[in-house]
Amino acid sequence: MSRVAAPFKKKSGVLSIYCTAGFPKIDSTIEVIQALQENGADMIELGIPYSDPLADGPIIQLSSSVALSNGMSIKKLFEQLKGFRQSIHIPVILMGYMNPVLQYGFEKFCVEAAAMGIDGLILPDLPAHEFETSYIDTIKKHKLDFIFLVTPETAEERIRLLDKLSSGFLYAVSSSSTTGSAKDFGRVLTYLDRLEKLKLKNPVLAGFGIRNREDFKQVCNFANGAIIGSAYIQALSQENSVNKATKSFLSSILQD
């Protein structure tokens, strides 16, 4: 069983938190990951900052800009991740965009990610056809999970294809807007109910616009858990102490 699959076997309501590598400071990456693990996150989606993050809303875009200004790069990130598995035991997935990964070298990227102990990849702008024809063998060779995204507008046939191609979980984007956007939760829950009834191969995590405990509890009625990003990044930006911000934020999500 892969490390990504493990939380879904142990519990319902899996909580994955997105953070941006190199934010709020260049050397914050491991501190943030450690704080998330210590305060109850089940999984971490570690964002590779990029100058044109098409799926990301203004809060995560700003965190990427800050991280890039801090000097973060894929090379720097892998340097920071060396040995992190000595203390971090929860799944860590890299989320990024194809342009910087291709500039780094796709095979090299997968080799080094696997060597560091990264569990999987989310690359939203990698089309399914290119994944199948050009990249799947490399990803499988290095035993990395790969997670595709589906939206409320994705047709059932394509949902089933992306579920078949994904491993670890399927990322249910709660709407066609960017991360952090407000939305009609009634429509979100109807969409998640539709996904649940499809009896997909992979567990489903819902993301985009999930901000608080109420949102989290609602989506967990239909999905296997949720990904929270913008609200956590905002919490980090408003508090000088990573540990204090993380403890306060996760407590607000997880505690009754």
Report the alpha-carbon distance of residue 22 to residue 66 in Å, rounded: 8
Residues 100, 245, 211, 233: what is their CA dihedral angle, to the nearest 10 degrees? -20
173 forms bridges with which residues in the sheet? 207
CB 108: neighbour CB atoms within 10 A? Answer: 12
Question: Is 56 a catalytic site residue?
Answer: yes
Catalytic residue among 38, 42, 56, 156: 56
Q: Among this protein's residues, is 107 annotated catalytic?
A: no
Does residue 110 contact residue 139 with C-beta atoms inside 8 Å? Answer: yes
Considering the candidates 42, 45, 112, 163, report the single residue annotated as catalytic.
45
C-alpha to C-alpha distance for 218 and 153, rounded to whole angstroms:
21
- Provide the annotated active-site residues: 45, 56
